[in-house]
Amino acid sequence: NKPAGMIIHPAAVDRADTLVNALQWHLDQTAAATGLLRPGIVHRLDRDTSGVVVTTKDHLSHRRLSISFQERTIRKVYFAVVEGWPADDTGTIDTPIGKVADPESNLVSAAPDAINPRAARTDYSVLEKFDGWSLVEARPLTGRLHQIRVHLASIGHPLLGDPFYGPGGDIRRDRNGILLIEPPSDPPWPAIGRHALHARSLSFEHPITGRPLTIESPLADDLSRMLADARG
């Protein structure tokens, strides 16, 4: 149940306090020797996305689960809080995603001029509507980088708190964090300190026993409080 703000793997500027560090510490408490068991990462969540992550403790499980992700047999459900009200309460966004034109940027785009676009599809349902914003269930059928964030922004409904992807898919900030698009001066939606995306559940067959599993994560505290305040 990954908290928002934690990255998966150590990086150049973030060597500690990652999910891999935490999992390695946990495994070392039960293994016969330090480092004997290694966490097998089979998928990722963005730093500021909270919720369910599945990892493995042996090579066979890692291989089989990795194949399940590649073959898209794992059902993923996310909760997203977005700006505005989507025109349709249910729908499918079937738009390829590729890199933005800046070769040094790690941002992606669903725009026609995206570089090396790959097929991407997201089903969605609007769960609740508030004053100028909505709670949406998103079900990605592919696994592209930033897919839900980019797809919802591309139809005019970016995630609350997303610093990069704006309405229509416009890039709000460049890779250096320089503001490109001014935010609304008095938006109707509440402020939040990260993009409002939560990995609600994963459904898959256990890689060894074949037993069907659904793992759910309760909504993160910051999103839960925001919704509770709006509901009164």
For 206, the token pair is: 């256990």
Q: What is the DSSP letter of 40?
A: E
Whole-model pTM over 0.85: yes
d(CA 93, CA 120): 8
* Residues with catalytic function: 46
The DSSP code sequence of 101-170 is: S-TT---EE-STT-EEEE--EEEEEEEEE-SSEEEEEEEESS--TTHHHHHHHHTT-PBTT-SSB-GGG-
Residue 113 φ/ψ, nearest 5 degrees:
-95, 10
pLDDT tens, the chain, 232 aa long: 999 999 988 776 666 788 888 888 888 888 888 877 788 899 999 999 999 999 998 899 999 999 999 999 999 999 999 999 999 999 999 999 999 987 678 899 999 989 999 999 999 999 999 999 999 999 999 999 999 999 999 999 999 999 999 999 899 988 777 888 888 889 999 999 999 999 999 999 999 999 999 999 999 999 999 999 999 8
15: left (phi over 0), alpha (psi -120 to 50) or beta: alpha
d(CA 111, CA 41): 30
Measured between alpha carbons, how far is 147 from 120 in angstroms, rounded to an integer?
Answer: 7
